[in-house]
Each structure stands twice: as C-alpha cells, then as structure tokens.
Amino acid sequence: MASRLFAFAASLALLSLLIPSAYGKTASFTVQPGSNNIYFSVDIKYDGEIAAVSLMQTDSPFASGHGWQPLQHNYATVWRYDPKDPTLPPFSIQITDKTGSKLVAKDVIPPNWKIGAVYNANLA
C-alpha cells in the first residue's frame, strides 16, 4: 500500500514538471525608443517562447469595439504596434505562447509611460 502511494505521488510530481502552467508567470516590458502615440514598440522579457503579442487600449475613444490588436514581431524580443489612430494608454498586453496559451498583463503600460522604462507584470 505504501509503495503504491509513493509511486502515485512520484507520478504526480513528474507530471507537474512536464505540464506547463501559467501560474506564477511574469514578464517585463521595456518601452523602446521612437515610441509615441502613433507607434509603439516594446521589448518583452518572458520565460517562454512567444508566438504572438496583442495590445488592448483601456481608455482610447478610438479603441471601442477593436479589442485585442496584434503587434508585429520586429526583431529578437521586440514587438511593435502601428495603429491607424492615435493610442491612449493604459495598455494591456496579451502574450500567446507556443502552446496557444494566452496570458495577459492588465494595464501594464501606464498612461504616463516613458521611453526606456521597464514595466513588470504578473500574467493572468
């Protein structure tokens, strides 16, 4: 009986290592030079492989009904957004990893963002 319980516990421990979890994931976002209200570029540090990134404006009158807007992969870990209309932060950023999981950093880029500033977030 004890050996079965031990084997079961060991199996659960192994599975927890093999199955990726979003719990406790964090990311940092560094606003890149050249960013302004009609162009936004961000360097994303995330412990995982990023497949796609999207941005949602919280307060912009232009953003109503637009929802998540895709960013373009620029180079390395830098992503950019070229909107049709001026942007108005705060911005939430959604990371889609290679498994298809979507993780959100809500309002991570504040209204008064600065070029070169690093904004850290817990992903949900």
**Domain boundaries of the chain, sorted by first residue:** 26-122
In the chain, % of residues over pLDDT 70: 76
**Distance, CA of 89 to CA of 57 (rounded, Å):** 6
What is the per-residue pLDDT for 21? 47
pLDDT band at 4; cut points 50, 70, 90: low
pLDDT, one tens digit per residue, over 15-29 is 343 444 445 799 999
pLDDT, one tens digit per residue, over 28-64 is 999 999 999 999 999 999 999 999 999 999 876 665 5
pLDDT, one tens digit per residue, over 61-72 is 665 557 899 999
Q: Which CATH superfamily is domain 26-122 in?
A: Expansin, cellulose-binding-like domain (2.60.40.760)
Q: Provide φ and ψ at 116, rounded to 5°.
A: 90, -15
